[in-house]
Structure 1
Amino acid sequence: MEIRNATPQDWPAIYPFWSGIVEAGETYVYPRNASSADAQALWMEPAPSHVVVAVDGEQILGTAKMGPNRPGRGSHVGTASFMVDPQARGRGVGRALGEYALNWLREAGYHGVQFNAVVETNTAAVQLWKSLGFDVVGTVPEAFDSASQGLVGLHVMYQKL
């Protein structure tokens, strides 16, 4: 597996799993039924964001985006988002992307990393981020409308770099 910069040419391979994950309604607050162009604008953000893909040969296994959590006086804290193609789960793609993001954010000079909205019922993600050094610093009750479980909390997770 290699992690490299994402290009606009990667989007046609990213969008099907991006859309499937969003439509499943379990992990992301992005709008349902987002067109490819709208989804691309949400995910493939320009600098200072940095977008990558994890690949095995020509196959895109997952993607991540990272950059400042907030503009201006909050820009010293980074954030990141991750999506792994369901067909590639269990292969360490999420961990590899998470480690890459932490290294990139550290090298870019960020003071810490804040995840604003980790769905509390997404136990695999919560466990992964904890194993990479994140703490749950708070939970907003009933802030996410899970397709299968109704209103559940969103964790705010943080790691000082």
Structure 2
Amino acid sequence: MSQRFHFRFQAVLRVREAERDAIRMELAAAMATADTIRERRSDLAALKREAMWRHRASRLGVIRAETLREQARYEQTLALQDARLVAEEAEAELRVEAIRTGLQAAEIECRRWDKLSSRDHRAHRERFLAAEQREAEEINRGKVKMDRSQRSGE
């Protein structure tokens, strides 16, 4: 009985592992998106600081109404961009968390199928060893019978 072990649900295990790997890739992409948004917010914060310093510097000389309006529009544009990025960042973080939750579920599912595979493998090995033991006992019994018959024939 030297049959090789084959997990009966190997195809299911492979599908679950592929799904888990796809979720991992999706998580990596979502995290990269969130990082990009954070970088954009950081860049925007630098632009806002620069605009604030320019605004302060412009107060030192002659103040022109047109310059003030341009600065106000620019600051308003930056504020709107920041608000949009804050919303995008929150959405990206929610997406990352949802994907993490899905990944945890996929990991649990893979572990369950892997555990079942291990259990089946152990059971197969136990059956194999039991069959080998029975064979050895039968061979032993045959030798004992042969020895007895040879002794009685002498």
Q: TM-score normalised to the size of structure 2? A: 0.21
Higher relative contact order (CA 8 A, sep 6+): 2
Structure that is richer in helix per residue: 2
More strand by share: 1
